[in-house]
Amino acid sequence: MNHFDINSRRRHKFTAITACAILLLTASSAMSAEDGGYAGAPVQLGIGARAVAMGGAYVAIADGPTAYWWNPAGVAQVRVNGLEAAWRTMSFDRQTGYVAFVHPFGKEDAAMALGWIYSGVSNVYEMGTDGQQGAQLSNSNNAATFTFARKFTPELSLGVTLRYVQQNIANINAYTVGFDFGTHIRFVRDWELGSFKIPMSKVRLGAALQCVGQKYPWTTGKYWVNNGQSGSSVNEKFPIIGRFGIATSWLNEKLLIAFDGEINQKQSSRIHVGAEARPLKFVSLRAGVDNNNPTFGAGLEPKLRPKLTLALDYAYTLQPDKIDAEHLFSLGIRF
């Protein structure tokens, strides 16, 4: 880690915030040439244990409370209220969690969703050049979303998400507002070409654009003024992320197979493949590949009352480069 001289007349000291500030001021040019991190990445981790267990191949499925994150248009498929929450502890002292709620509008082909995602890193401290540990520094991200989706034809749905994202690094804050857009197609009948039938009623298509118009207006003036310097400002743009996918169901809806492609302005393209089998009505088994990383999981959906269903889902994801595997549990209700 580089050391920066903040005040030579005082005790020579650097903090993690100094390094973060420098990185923020050079992020736009540095990340454009590398397949590394990017603005907003901490709140771009896929949510929902079901989707994660299927390798993130979820754009064409996109149902349930977490549908808004994968494809805003998928929210229009939901016909019952749903509430879901999860907390996930990862390697390198990272934590993330979310709460998602979806509400359909009566008998109309429309629905709304609300979401909140938290991500943070603990155990980040000030350090002096003498090796002495100082105060703990904050490092957190929050994203709040509102989604509206409507089915315009029996097959076509469109949706939009208003997304507010905030990041705090050692008391330096940045805020941004942007949009996600999605479209979802679920064919309602098969296609017939003469005597040949194409089973299109088993096919779903989906596409989404995320982080449209978002950027962090960082300024380090407040921090540097305290150290006798002027500070700097920079706008750090979020890369637009494009997702497109196809899903197909077989064996009387007992087997679901999905494929997604993902394009990121600042990273390499990614492929997601997943499958879900339902050996019993309330039991699901899942597996997938998330950009070459295997994923597995399972789900239980017992009906507690005629209009109340519990949803407990689990996902296990293997990570690259000897990083510890991750576990994700999510708990939800449908009512």
Domain positions in the chain are: 13-277
- Asked whether residue 184 carries a pLDDT value surpassing 80, the answer given is yes
pLDDT single digits (tens) 136-173:
666 788 999 999 999 999 999 999 999 999 988 777 88
| 248 band by pLDDT with thresholds 50, 70 and 90 | very high
Residue 212: predicted pLDDT:
95
- DSSP category for residue 323: P
| 227 band by pLDDT with thresholds 50, 70 and 90 | low
pTM as predicted: 0.82
- Asked whether residue 29 carries a pLDDT value surpassing 50, the answer given is no
The more confident residue out of 147 and 33 is: 147
Q: What are phi and psi of 224, to 5 degrees?
A: -70, -30
- Asked whether residue 20 carries a pLDDT value surpassing 60, the answer given is no
pLDDT single digits (tens) 164-174:
999 887 778 88
Average pLDDT of the chain, as a whole number: 83
| 108 band by pLDDT with thresholds 50, 70 and 90 | confident
C-beta neighbour count of 310 within 10 angstroms = 15
Q: Which residues have CB under 8 Å from 169's CB, separation 6+? A: 17, 20, 24, 137, 138, 139
Q: Which residues have CB under 8 Å from 83's CB, separation 6+? A: 65, 99, 100, 101, 332, 333, 335
